[in-house]
Structure 1
Amino acid sequence: MKILKYNNELKNFYILQLGQFISQFGSKMTSFGLIMWAYEQSSSVLYISSLTVCSLLPSILFSFFAGSFIDVWNKKKILLIANSIAIIFSLITLILLFFNQLDIRYLYLINFTLGVVDAFQGPASDVVISLIVSKKYYTQISGLRSFAISFTTTLAPIIATSFYVLLGMKVIIIVDLGTFLFSFISLLFFVYVPNNIIKKQDKKESFLSSCKQGITYIVNRKDIFHLIIFMGFVNFIAAIYSCNFTPMILLRNGNNKFELGIVSSTIGIAGIIGSILVTVMKQPKKRIPIIINTMTFSFLVCNSMLGIGRNYYIWMIAVFAGNCLVPFLTANVEYIMRTKIPIEMQGRVFSTRNTLQYLSIPIGYMLGGLLTDKIFEPFMNNPSTLQRFFSYIVGNGRGSGNGLVYISIGLIGFLGCCFFKFDKHLKKLDD
């Protein structure tokens, strides 16, 4: 298959991607395990949402400033430093677990620090790929990256759940440390990254002036700006979706972690199939309709079925239908961003994009937690005429409030996509 065909021109990318894949697999296992651990400690969606926000918020806020450094620093060194810091904090978490001192408050601090690191690591990684991959392979490598992410999403929850139940959280973090080391060594010794530094006169510009260039470029490009706004909207709905996913399933299935692992892995299976399709299918002439229609279908079908469903069979169908087309979204958005933005500006523009596009994620997480804990769950647990009406749709008992949240965001997401479908600035990206 085309997705698995070796291409010597992409050797650098293959090595980099392998290291990132191994590292992300370990990180996904740890993240999934810590969500289960934190939910057992707190039994609160809001606490889990707050943990995620502590990681996302610094990543988003510092990302705006990071781009100015990324464009003039050695990108490979940035990635190596970021990897080293991640290893240190995983080791700290492991030590706290060994001495039974791990507390959710410590996880807030750890997540905040790793979020700052990610503000530099994410955009630097994006620029590195633009430097080592020819433009003609952008769609193919996007499919490969989606394939790796989906494969991780498929297996990591199953393995993490098995390790958590049988061996405990400590073993998961030990495995994670091993994956970090593999990624560090492969990047250090086997990946060549051109040290693409911007022109000397640009380096003399003030720091604030350099930061301003990213936001100025985006604001002046209405088509790119509107695409970022659309992705911010998608991220907002996805954040509410994500923070309610694990709690809803555990509440509705009697805390059955294996069913949670199966449903989570179905998301990955759908992503793998979608990634293969993206890689082998012919390049589309129009990319914006694919981007909009993909999310219109996903919001309406996936979120609605998750809210209505009462067992993991329905949830598996819902997440499969909603996620099998998502690689088409990411591949086409990535292609547009890499081909429309000059390479010497990508660090600043990608960083500014991350700040604008991902700012909606912590808002979504906090709002999702508040809506569930403070409004929808109490509403569904207090009998009333309106509550009885909604109970026919989402059922009764624990988790029904989460189900009502999914129905709501499914409708909002669908209507939002219909609005963006007629955006004239987005359509210009296909000209």
Structure 2
Amino acid sequence: MKTSRNALLLLSSQFISDIGNWIDRIALLTLVYNTSKSTVKMSILSIIMLIPAVLFSVPFGRIIDISNKKRILLFGDFLRAILVFLIPFSVKYIFLLVFIISALTALYENTRSSLIPEIFKREELRQINSLSSSLSSLMMIIGPTIGGVLTASFNLKYCFYIDSFSFLISTMLISQISYCKSKNVEVANTTLRYKEFINFLNRNLIIKNVIAINCLTNLFAGILNGLLIVYVINYLHSNSKGYGLILTSKGIAMVITSFCLYKSFKDVRNEIIFLIGLIGLGISIMLFSLNSIFMVALFLHFINGIFNSLNAISRTTLIQQNCEKIFLGRCFSLNSMLSNIFSIVSLLIGGILSKFLSVRIVFLSCGFFITVTGILYLFKFLKVGFLGNSHSPS
């Protein structure tokens, strides 16, 4: 009963705050553009949202591991509620406020991922991660619409007030979660240095490989995010509406897959799902790059969403299942930092490559490298016994 209640509270808080986040995100972009009319400042805003996860991952990881995770979530929600509420009154300091809010969000998300293994049983992790992913994917579909309608219909300040209120509701929901940090874990965390975590990571081959694969995936797939709209316009002969439909098809696939994953693949090892998702992701990108028919592109991006969801959910579950609780915060913070670094590098590489190669060739190459990465790691996992006959709890 306690587990079900915790799941309902945690997922409800995520859903409420995600709605507010989308409203806030679109309101922020609109506010910055309306006040500056500068595309440079729009780019700066996007970079500022990413930088905190890179800069503060090491101290954040230690903070998460030595602190009461529930208190961090409560602190993060409450402080973000105040800061978001202040945005309409402090437009000249908007970049500073966004930087602080983004830092708190990075701390919050990694804390949340680290808390899940402490309040749910090992065999429940895939189910919780699947439901969490389905909510995130659902908000990818309806969030921009809600945010767009509200920012177009009301004064922007009310959008920030709504987001602030959503954080307060999330705070109340989180406060009801049953959680007690183990004293043994707490004492161990305060005496462990980052060096011990690195030694643990070097010994734990599954987590080390999962993080390495995630970095490579972000390096190749990140290039495509900035070039997708270019491909839609130049090769599928569509427009921004078509681009939106392409993204929506992927979002729908991720929602469906997330809801079905823990039921349909409950007896399949997470390592297998992870690699199937990676290889399928690469193949679907290659097929997408060879196609010029819009309806076929919709279908292929839907398939891409299925494999993307399989890979993402199993990746989180593998880290949670194989990481010692005293290192969860550091592990998720490190993964977040490296993911953001490789995503930023990827965007820069994509911009350079598109000057010398056609977007189609860039897409095809990235899909090929992702597929090869998946196949190589499949053989590596087989060699070291990660895909053996022993049953992996779902």
State whether TM-score is above 0.5: yes
- 2:326 pairs with 1:347: no
Task: Name the structure 2 match of 1:224.
Answer: 207
For structure 1, the residue ranges without an aligned partner over 5 or more in a row are: 1-6, 380-386, 391-400
Task: Name the structure 2 match of 1:414.
Answer: 371
Q: Distance in 1 between matches of 2:378 and 2:44?
A: 33
Task: Name the structure 2 match of 1:202.
Answer: 188
Task: Name the structure 2 match of 1:235.
Answer: 218
Counterpart amino acid of residue 298 in structure 1: L
- 2:107 pairs with 1:150: no
- 2:54 pairs with 1:60: yes
Offset of residue 203 of structure 1:
5.6
Distance verdict in 2 for CA 1:212–1:287, change over 3 Å: same
Task: Name the structure 2 match of 1:70.
Answer: 64
Q: 1:159-170 residue pairs with structure 2 within 5 A?
A: 159-167=146-154, 169-170=156-157
Distance verdict in 2 for CA 1:51–1:233, change over 3 Å: farther
Task: Name the structure 2 match of 1:215.
Answer: 198
Distance verdict in 2 for CA 1:347–1:417, change over 3 Å: same
The answer (yes or no) to whether the contact 1:306–1:318 under 8 Å persists in 2 is no
Report the RMSD for the aligned CA atoms in angstroms: 3.4
Offset of residue 238 of structure 1:
3.3
Distance verdict in 2 for CA 1:253–1:326, change over 3 Å: closer
Q: 1:24 aligns with which of 18, 23, 39?
A: 18
The answer (yes or no) to whether the contact 1:24–1:152 under 8 Å persists in 2 is yes
Q: Distance in 2 between matches of 1:257 and 1:53?
A: 23
Q: 1:337 aligns with which of 313, 319, 332?
A: 319
- 2:349 pairs with 1:367: yes
For structure 2, the residue ranges without an aligned partner over 5 or more in a row are: 389-394
Offset of residue 201 of structure 1:
5.2
Counterpart amino acid of residue 367 in structure 2: G
The answer (yes or no) to whether the contact 2:272–2:387 under 8 Å persists in 1 is no
Higher alpha-carbon deviation: 35-44 or 226-235: 35-44
Counterpart amino acid of residue 119 in structure 2: I
Q: Give deviations 1:291-344, integer Å, cap 9, x for gaps.
A: 122122223324652685475x45532321101232322332233222222223
Q: Distance in 2 between matches of 1:258 and 1:278?
A: 30
Q: Give deviations 1:123-147, integer Å, cap 9, x for gaps.
A: 2212221121122211211211111
Please report the TM-score for the alignment, with normalisation by the length of structure 2: 0.83
Higher alpha-carbon deviation: 236-245 or 123-132: 236-245
Q: Distance in 1 between matches of 2:31 and 2:283?
A: 31
Counterpart amino acid of residue 80 in structure 2: A
Distance verdict in 2 for CA 1:148–1:281, change over 3 Å: same
Q: Give deviations 1:264-306, integer Å, cap 9, x for gaps.
A: 3322211111012202214234332321221222233246526
Q: Distance in 1 between matches of 2:31 and 2:361?
A: 25
Q: Distance in 1 between matches of 2:370 and 2:63?
A: 36
The answer (yes or no) to whether the contact 2:66–2:190 under 8 Å persists in 1 is no
Where 1:191 maps in the other structure, the secondary structure is coil
Offset of residue 252 of structure 1:
8.6
The answer (yes or no) to whether the contact 2:285–2:364 under 8 Å persists in 1 is no
Q: Distance in 1 between matches of 2:205 and 2:374?
A: 18
Task: Name the structure 2 match of 1:430.
Answer: 387
Q: Distance in 2 between matches of 1:430 and 1:122?
A: 30
Distance verdict in 2 for CA 1:288–1:36, change over 3 Å: farther
Offset of residue 405 of structure 1:
4.0
Q: 2:81 aligns with which of 67, 87, 92?
A: 87
Q: Distance in 1 between matches of 2:169 and 2:280?
A: 38
Offset of residue 179 of structure 1:
1.8
Task: Name the structure 1 match of 2:5.
Answer: 11
Q: Distance in 2 between matches of 1:25 and 1:154?
A: 11
Q: Give deviations 1:7-63, integer Å, cap 9, x for gaps.
A: 66321121111011110122134335555777894557xx76654443223213312
Counterpart amino acid of residue 58 in structure 1: P
Task: Name the structure 2 match of 1:113.
Answer: 100
Where 1:231 maps in the other structure, the secondary structure is helix
Higher alpha-carbon deviation: 12-21 or 174-183: 174-183
- 2:261 pairs with 1:278: yes
Aligned residues: 386
Q: Distance in 1 between matches of 2:312 and 2:217?
A: 11
Task: Name the structure 2 match of 1:191.
Answer: 177
Q: Distance in 2 between matches of 1:213 and 1:331?
A: 27
Q: Distance in 1 between matches of 2:32 and 2:249?
A: 23
Task: Name the structure 1 match of 2:112.
Answer: 125
Distance verdict in 2 for CA 1:126–1:18, change over 3 Å: same
Task: Name the structure 1 match of 2:273.
Answer: 290
Q: Distance in 2 between matches of 1:416 and 1:366?
A: 21
Indicate the percent of aligned positions where both proteins have the same amino acid.
19
Counterpart amino acid of residue 122 in structure 2: K
